Chain A
Amino acid sequence: MIYLDHAAATPVSKKVFEASGPYFLEEFFNPSSPYLPAKKVSKEYEEAKNVIARAIGAKGSDLVITAGATEANNLAMAGVSGGVLYLTTEHDSVRRVAEQYGGEAIKVLPSGLIDMEDLRGKITDETELISVSLVNNEIGVIQPIAEIGALVREVRMDRLRRGVKRQILLHSDASQALNLLDVNVARLGVDLLTLNAAKVYGPKGVGALYVSHEVRLNPLTVGGGQENGLRSGTENVPGVIGFAKAVSLAKEHLNGNRKKYAEFKKVFLDELQGYELPVKKHMLDNFVVLCYNGIDAERLVFLLEEKGVYVATGAACAASKGVRSHVLAAIGLTDSEIAGSLRISFGETNTKEQIIEAARIINEVVRAERERVAHE
């Protein structure tokens, strides 16, 4: 098996699994219980949150642990009473929520980068939240969050000067980025940041929302008042312990990972034939978007599956809904180019030999499919 879809899911790394294990079996206590073993678990839980938070330059108490990035994105907008702006290429867990708040989409340039002029033009005194993901989940484009952060700071100063009461906040979904980019809330200038364990070799169903002190959110889940009252429910201790381990490993291997995937990308593209690259720059190192115009990439997915190579045509959740990629459409691809596009995302399961082998198999499958289409 050659798995080239790490943007959809990553395996839990062995060290993460081992770190979580005891909290399923022996250290199973409810952190809210009064006796000592539970107190110990509570302390370790908080310490794990600190580890995660420190990785993004924050404190553990700034984090709200959620059941994944989707919930964190939903929570980020809960409590917003003003206007919402979101990048048109955002994941559905931002788009669909933003739409509920009457959100307006910000355009992207053909490169996939945010159109800063469009953003500037759309900010009014009513705008309360801007949501732009750090890395796009379909094309791997890295957005200039720090630049947007600086703009938001400017707008904030200007509002204060003019006596406008409404606050303006910046939210960014950094799910895809933690093991390949420096993610620091101060340097990015974000007020809200979404993290996801499942994309960085941690467990599924665990995420976090960083919430700066300036932000007042409304909880979506009420009950026992855990997570500063913003997300009630007994703490997912093994999940968070695992998340912390995954984050530590990601930080540790950050530079090594970038180098490795940059090399993978080079040998991969050297070996491949007859493709186009709709996205070329400002990308996360482990992302490749290949376009085979005139070919149905969904057929390629199944043909490659038979040869043990697993790739995607877009976000896994969008593909399962049978809709064409709104991201590829937004960067100006034609319907036929969208239909012919594959998303490849390298990861820790891969070796250089695998990448070369995969490129050869893709070449072979594409050639056969082109022949079949010609004879149809």
Chain B
Amino acid sequence: MKLFGPREKELRMSKPLVFVGMSGGVDSSVATMLLVQQGYKVVGVYMKNWSKDLPGMKCPWAEDLADAKRVAVKLGIPFEVWDFEKEYFEKVVEYMLSEFRAGRTPNPDIMCNQEIKFKLFFEKAMERGADFIATGHYARTKDGQLMRAVDENKDQTYFLYRMPEEALKKTIFPIGEMKKPEVKKLAEENGLHNAYKKESMGVCFVGEVGMKDFLKEYIDLKPGEIRRVEDEKVLGYHEGAVFYTIGQRHGLYLNGVRGEINDGLPYYVVKKDIEQNIVYVSKNLNDENLWTDELELKDIVIRKFEQFPKQVSVRLRHRAPLVPAKFDGSKLYFENKIKRPAAGQSAVIYADEIVLGGGIIV
């Protein structure tokens, strides 16, 4: 197995210092172990970004921290807790809330990587004399470029495309060359596998299912109508247009229309009018609102590359297949129509394995 970082010979002479972000999960645990095995001087750090319990949602931070610490102790490395709660709220949560309020669907994980993990964490590590930082992300770097992970199913570059350039140069992704089953196996073989731990999903602190409940803590409910896009007929009511996302089909309270036969097919959210607080739905999967062959981007990040290729690949969701497109610097043009992603989500642009950049969908 080939791994990045200085060669062994050099290592024996001077041990580079690495601060590794440990979440308590299997990926960052194995990443940490690999760094130790490769001879780095390693300091494990738990980033405390969120600790508040919400009604019905217990924040697992203390258990995660204990899991991370157990691994650090097992590996015999120092372990610290860095508190970024205030910054996380200001840079990630407030951004997220303001995006939702504006009717968009932001991705807080991307913002967390940009503002916290690869900025504040990176800066603090550098102040502490680090040579590198490391995380348990599935991604690779090569010659200062961010590259897709070997495990295509787990590749996390979608979340990383906005990571600052300075951090990228100094970041090690120890498991980027591995596939998830190998990581799990290594963890089991080395007694790092936490058999009782669920894998965390989606937004680090609420999980995908909890997002609406989370938002309700901060955004007042504002009941409004759900209308059918084709004929403006009121089919039901919602708790606030901002809580709904284009393409969503769950959590809609629909009564149907008297006299119409219920064919059992689901309605999808196809359009939102935030000003009028109306959610439009349709059963027609071919509804023009759901499809597009171009996307305009803002807050574009373009990474250094020698020549921007005419033909690029684009990922519109984490783990979604890459789709071919052309990019003119602000707009993406797709060969085939694509399902329109919600505004506020990211489009990440690739040239083969290299992450060229991306932007926020307008």
Contacts and interface: CB of A to CB of B under 8 A. Distances in A.
Interface of A: 298-299, 302-303, 305-306, 319-322, 372, 376
Interface stretch (B60-68, B216-224, B265-273, B301-309): B60-68
B70 A302 contact: yes
B74 interface: yes
A302 B76 contact: no
A322 B46 CA distance: 12
B42 to A, nearest CB: 11
Given A302-B69, A322-B66, 15 more contacts: A298-B66, A298-B69, A299-B69, A299-B73, A303-B73, A305-B70, A306-B74, A319-B62, A320-B62, A320-B63, A320-B66, A322-B51, A322-B61, A322-B65, A372-B76
Q: Give the interface centre of B61, B66, B70, B73 by most chain A CB atoms within 10 Å.
A: B73
Contacts of A303: 73
Nearest to B62: A322
Interface string B67-92: 00110011010110000000000000
Nearest to A323: B62
Nearest to B63: A320
Instruction: State the main secondary structure of chain B at its contact with A.
Output: helix
Contacts, number: 25
Contacts of B73: 299, 302-303
B246 to A, nearest CB: 39
15 contacts: A298-B66, A299-B69, A302-B73, A302-B74, A303-B73, A306-B74, A319-B62, A320-B62, A320-B63, A320-B66, A321-B62, A322-B51, A322-B65, A322-B66, A372-B76
Contacts of A298: 66, 69
Contacts of B62: 319-322
B356 to A, nearest CB: 41
A305 B76 CA distance: 14
In the A-B complex, list the 7 residue pairs whose CB atoms are closest, starting with the nearest. A322-B62, A302-B73, A302-B70, A299-B73, A321-B62, A320-B62, A376-B78
Nearest to B65: A322
A372 B41 CA distance: 13
B196 to A, nearest CB: 13
A91 to B, nearest CB: 17
Instruction: State the main secondary structure of chain A at its contact with B.
Output: helix
Interface of B: 51, 61-63, 65-66, 69-70, 73-74, 76, 78-79
B3 to A, nearest CB: 25
A201 B74 CA distance: 32
A376 B42 CA distance: 10
B195 to A, nearest CB: 14
A320 B51 CA distance: 12
Contacts of A320: 62-63, 66
A30 B51 CA distance: 43
Contacts of A306: 74
Nearest to B41: A376
A372 B79 CA distance: 12
B121 to A, nearest CB: 19
Nearest to B43: A376
A279 B94 CA distance: 46
A63 B61 CA distance: 38
A322 B74 CA distance: 19
Contacts of B61: 322
A319 B76 CA distance: 21
A320 B58 CA distance: 12
A298 to B, nearest CB: 6
A371 to B, nearest CB: 11
A62 B346 CA distance: 64
Nearest to B79: A299
A149 to B, nearest CB: 37
Contacts of A299: 69, 73, 79
A319 B70 CA distance: 14
Nearest to B53: A321
A305 B74 CA distance: 10
Contacts of A302: 69-70, 73-74
Contacts of A321: 62
A302 B63 CA distance: 13
A321 to B, nearest CB: 5
Contacts of B78: 376
A298 B69 CA distance: 8
A313 to B, nearest CB: 10
A322 B51 CA distance: 10
A298 B65 CA distance: 11
A319 B65 CA distance: 11
A376 B76 CA distance: 10
A319 B66 CA distance: 9
B130 to A, nearest CB: 15
A320 B65 CA distance: 9
Nearest to A376: B78
Nearest to A303: B73
A320 B63 CA distance: 6
A322 B66 CA distance: 8
A322 B69 CA distance: 12
Contacts of B51: 322
A306 B76 CA distance: 12
B51 to A, nearest CB: 8
A257 to B, nearest CB: 32
Contacts of B70: 302, 305
B319 to A, nearest CB: 32
A298 B78 CA distance: 12
A292 to B, nearest CB: 15
A173 B342 CA distance: 55
A361 to B, nearest CB: 15
Nearest to B69: A298
Contacts of B79: 299
